[in-house]
């Protein structure tokens, strides 16, 4: 079977693209990937997705996205694209190195992943005081002392943003020089609520009940000396990696691996569109990803119509 559209990814961008495409009477296959539901599956309360005045848990929101697309006939299938042949439409996508599925059009919504330090305690406390999204979780740290790890623009931006809530933000950076742009550095250095802990890395996140953060164990990267800091939240801002490895050499990517669209949501390959965090490293919000998913579906629908008229 050749689907009208194959969508890669099951975050807000992928599901919203599927919603619009299936309501336009297109046959839609959505490949869910390994992390079904995407990054929101590792958040707890989502309070900034419009329409949920009392907030909603990330996994529950993604379940609702899925139910909504299935209602309109989208076929959701567990599996990841392991290689693609985008030479001509219908495009061929190999799923889990086995089966090949085909789509007249494709929407890439494979998302991005926040980088983590890789500590066992960090993994265990995600959603319980450890976060990689200040916009999502900053609100929970009113009048609390917290830390941000990183020395780039994201770390400066998140540290500044978090001072709206937290009583004190300690930026922990592994070197004594920031990577961030001058203006972002200046803003953070001038903020009286931000302190810098230079030449340090986090080696353990401390907890008492396993449901909260009470401090950090840190190590001086020069001397190796260990110490502890008492605080209630840890934000990681050490970068994101878009999930675009299989498109390298096929789809135009920037130096960080983000998809570079050519015409609105269309990539350099006509008929292949991109939406969400794999293309947008600036906003990275569920609502903006959903908006891009909608745009990609509308662009693809028009492209398919143009193909029919041309043919």
Shortest gap between Cβ of 157 and ligand NAP (angstroms)? 5
Q: Which of 76, 133, 278, 294 is catalytic?
A: 133
Shortest Å, Cβ 284 to ligand NAP: 9
- What is the spatial distance between Cα 104 and Cα 55, in angstroms, rounded to a whole number? 38
Contacting residue, 23, 179, 187, 193, with ligand NAP by CB under 6 A: 179
Given 4, 45, 96, 136, the catalytic residue: 136
Q: Which is nearer to ligand NAP, 27 or 201 (CB)?
A: 201
Among 77, 174, 193, 217, indicate the residue that binds ligand NAP (CB under 6 A): 174
Structure tokens given for 273: 């569109």
Among residues 4, 76, 137, 277, the one annotated as catalytic is: 137
Residue placing its CB nearer to ligand NAP in the complex, 60 or 241 = 241
Nearby residues of 294 by Cβ (< 8 Å), 6 or more positions away: 16, 17, 19, 20
Non-local CB neighbours of 209 within 8 Å, separated by 6+ positions = none
In the list 124, 175, 264, 302, the residue contacting ligand NAP (rule: CB under 6 A) is 175
* Continuous segment of H or E residues that includes residue 4: strand 2-8
Angle at 139 between CA 135 and CA 145, to 5 degrees: 105
Non-local (6+) Cβ contacts of 26 within 8 A are: 4, 5, 301, 304
Residue 280 known to be catalytic? no
For ligand NAP, the closer CB: 145 or 153? 153
Per CB under 6 A, the segment of 174-182, 225-233, 284-292, 298-306 that binds ligand NAP is 174-182
What's the min distance (Å) between Cβ of 42 and ligand NAP?
18
Residues within window 273-302 making contact with ligand NAP, judged by CB under 6 A: 281
Site for ligand NAP in 49-88 (CB under 6 A): none
Q: How far is the CB of 5 from ligand NAP (least distance, A)?
A: 30
275, 109 in Cβ contact below 8 A?
Answer: yes
Instruction: Please choose, from the candidates 78, 106, 73, 107, the residue with its C-alpha nearest in 3D space to the C-alpha of residue 90.
Output: 106
List the interface residues with ligand NAP, window 85-144 (CB under 6 A).
115, 117
The footprint of ligand NAP on this chain (CB under 6 A) covers a number of residues equal to 17
Q: Which of 85, 95, 89, 38 is nearest to 66 (CA)?
A: 38
Structural contact between residues 83 and 94, judged by C-beta atoms closer than 8 angstroms: yes
Q: How many CB atoms lie within 10 A of CB 168?
A: 16
∠ at Cα 80 (114, 292), nearest 5°? 60
Catalytic residue flag (residue 137) = yes
For residues 234 and 129, the answer to whether their CB atoms sit within 8 Å is: yes
Q: Which stretch binds ligand NAP (CB under 6 A): 25-33, 172-180, 203-211, 216-224?
A: 172-180
> Is 13 or 172 the residue whose CB approaches ligand NAP more closely?
172
Can you name the residues that pair with 242 across neighbouring β-strands?
Answer: 112
Cβ proximity to ligand NAP, 94 vs 220, nearer residue:
220
- Return the closest-CA partner of residue 236 out of 165, 179, 159, 143: 159
Asked if 242 interacts with ligand NAP (CB under 6 A), we say no
Q: Which residue is nearest to ligand NAP (CB)?
A: 152
Which residues inside 148-167 make contact with ligand NAP, applying CB under 6 A? 149-155, 157
Asked about 186 being catalytic, the answer comes back as: no
Catalytic residues: 133, 136-137
Q: Could you list the residues that contact ligand NAP (CB under 6 A)?
A: 115, 117, 149-155, 157, 174-175, 179, 201, 238-239, 281
């Amino acid at each position: 079977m050749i689907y009208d559209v194959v969508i890669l990814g099951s975050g807000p961008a992928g599901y919203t693209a599927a919603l619009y495409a299936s309501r336009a009477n297109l046959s839609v296959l959505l490949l869910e990937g390994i992390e079904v539901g995407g990054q929101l599956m590792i958040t707890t309360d989502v309070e900034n997705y419009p329409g949920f005045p009392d907030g909603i848990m990330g996994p529950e929101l993604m379940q609702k996205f899925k139910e909504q697309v299935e209602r309109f006939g989208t076929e959701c299938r567990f599996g990841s694209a392991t290689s693609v042949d985008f030479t001509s439409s219908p495009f061929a996508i190999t799923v889990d190195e086995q089966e090949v599925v085909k789509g007249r059009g494709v929407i890439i919504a494979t998302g991005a992943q926040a980088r983590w330090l890789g500590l066992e305690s960090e993994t265990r406390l995600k959603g319980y005081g450890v976060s990689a999204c200040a916009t999502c979780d900053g609100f929970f740290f009113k009048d609390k002392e917290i830390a941000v790890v990183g020395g780039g623009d994201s770390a400066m931006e998140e540290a500044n943003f978090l001072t709206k809530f937290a009583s004190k933000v300690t930026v922990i950076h592994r070197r004594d020089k920031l990577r961030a742009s001058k203006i972002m550095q200046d803003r953070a250095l001038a903020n009286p609520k931000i302190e810098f802990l230079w030449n340090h890395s986090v080696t353990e996140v401390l907890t008492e009940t396993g449901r909260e953060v009470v401090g950090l164990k840190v190590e001086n990267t020069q001397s190796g000396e260990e110490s502890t800091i008492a605080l209630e939240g840890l934000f990681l801002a050490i970068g994101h990696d878009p999930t675009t490895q299989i498109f390298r050499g096929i789809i135009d990517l920037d130096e960080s691996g983000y998809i570079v669209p050519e015409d609105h949501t269309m990539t350099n390959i006509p008929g292949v569109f991109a939406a969400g965090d794999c293309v947008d490293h600036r906003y990275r919000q569920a609502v903006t990803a959903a908006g891009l998913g909608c745009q990609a579906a509308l662009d693809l629908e028009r492209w398919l119509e143009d193909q029919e008229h041309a043919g």
